[in-house]
Amino acid sequence: MSNTNYVSRCGQRAWSWMLWKTLLMTLLMTLIIGLVMGLFSPWLEGHPLHQKSQDAPQQAPLDRSALKGIIDRGANWIIDSQRPDGSWGSHAGDPGITAMALKALVDSPRAYREEDGPFITAAVQSLLSQQQSDGGVYVPDQGLMNYKTSVTVLALTALDAGRKEPRYRAQVARMRDYISGLQCSEQSTPVPYDPTTHISSWGGIGYGSDRRPDLSNTQLALEALTAAGLSEDSEVWKRAAQFISRCQNRKITNDALAAARKTSTEDGGFYYHPDESKAGLVTNEDGSQSFSSYGSMTYAAVKSMIYAGLKSDDPRIKAAVLWIRNHWTVDENPGMATAQNPDRGQMGYYYYLAVMARALQVLEVKTVTDVAGQEHQWVQELATALLERQNPDGSWSNPIDRWWEGDPVLATSYALQALNICYQTMED
């Protein structure tokens, strides 16, 4: 063997060994790196410098079929929870909760009517049996007359929707007149109200058990009066618009602030009464105080002003819509929470979603763009939020039991009313 061949073969052997060594080292390093990444990946994912190659998969949008299934589960729970006397709620014969539940069933995709079963006819009979000689629907000495009469109007007019000959026209007309008569106005007896003197009350409607109105009762009454066909020329609307304006954080159109000895935050939102906010007070830098605006009352005011004949470009409505954009959420009743008590944000949560859905439906908007410029498909977001909170049996309830939302019949009725609007608004 020549020296040249021997050197050549030794070189080939050395090269082969180096190649195998390199491959083994690469494999070993790969295994070590994989182990380290596996151990530390939770930390890396939370690190601000860690960037995922793609976002986490998003939940598929709900379609009408899926939404109908959610509503059906809730509706069946309500039907199964009915009392033998046809009523619903924590107390037998309660016309307020009964009417709320009935409307939720009637407005559902199934569009339940009297012919569908005793759960409708028994509820209607329970309500009509409690109509009093003054036209109102309530149990004497139990209060909440406006609330109970208004939701009864909404339930009965929903049943009559689309009928050539409404079955409850006469009863609803008497209820309409009763509700109108509760408004604090020049027609009030025995002594009339003055719009410039009684600025905390004039134009508003309260529970009926006392004479102090509030925006919550007023918005419900105006929705009922709209459904009952109160004439657009009625002075009720003009007076109500004035009362609502006096519950807004907008000084130029709120002449009740001085009497309440408060300043305005000028954020355009609304609160409960010209001299009260359920969200409390804001103390300003100069020591003055302002009423806190919050979500449920702001949405309630928007739909009520439109019922009262105001256009969407009215400065009061535009200011309220800006507040909505600045406080967009489907997770809580915005404006209610405090740093000391964040759970307050859940107070009136289902009521909030119900009035939100109605207000956005009345505004005829498909999306809401928040202050950061992000566009929100409100139907999808609202429906998804309620789906996530639905109990296994189909009901809803609020662990923050304020304003009766601990009653699952009421909470479920609110949730279904919101979802029914979502279903009506959602495109196929």
**Region label for 47, one of left (φ > 0), alpha (ψ between -120 and 50) or beta (otherwise):** beta
Q: Which architecture, in CATH terms, is 64-423?
A: Alpha/alpha barrel (1.50)
Mean pLDDT, rounded, of the chain: 88
Question: Hey, what are 338's tokens?
Answer: 């405090």
* Residue-wise pLDDT tens digits, 171-202: 999 999 999 999 999 999 889 999 989 999 99
Question: Hey, what are 343's tokens?
Answer: 């759970």
The answer to whether the CB of 412 falls within 8 A of the CB of 104 is yes
In angstroms, the Cα distances linking 318 to 98, 310, 315, 321, 322 are 35, 11, 5, 5, 6
The answer to whether the CB of 364 falls within 8 A of the CB of 318 is no
In angstroms, the Cα distances linking 166 to 103, 226, 367 are 16, 16, 35
The answer to whether the CB of 131 falls within 8 A of the CB of 171 is yes
Domain boundaries, the chain: 64-423
Cα of first residue to Cα of last residue in the chain, in angstroms, is 87
pLDDT per position in the chain (428 positions), as tens? 444 443 344 444 444 445 445 555 555 554 444 444 443 333 333 333 233 333 434 567 899 999 999 999 999 999 999 999 999 987 777 999 999 999 999 999 999 999 999 999 999 999 999 999 999 999 998 889 999 999 999 999 999 999 999 999 999 999 999 999 999 999 998 899 999 899 999 999 999 888 899 999 999 999 999 999 999 999 999 999 999 999 999 999 999 998 888 999 999 999 999 999 999 999 988 889 999 999 999 999 999 999 999 999 999 999 999 999 999 999 999 999 988 899 999 999 999 999 999 999 999 999 999 999 999 999 999 999 999 999 999 999 998 888 778 899 999 999 999 999 999 999 76
Measured between alpha carbons, how far is 121 from 321 in angstroms, rounded to an integer? 40
β-pairing verdict for 289-291 and 281-283: antiparallel
Residues 6+ apart with CB under 8 A from 217: 146, 147, 150, 204, 205, 206, 207
The answer to whether the CB of 302 falls within 8 A of the CB of 318 is no
| DSSP class of 58 | P
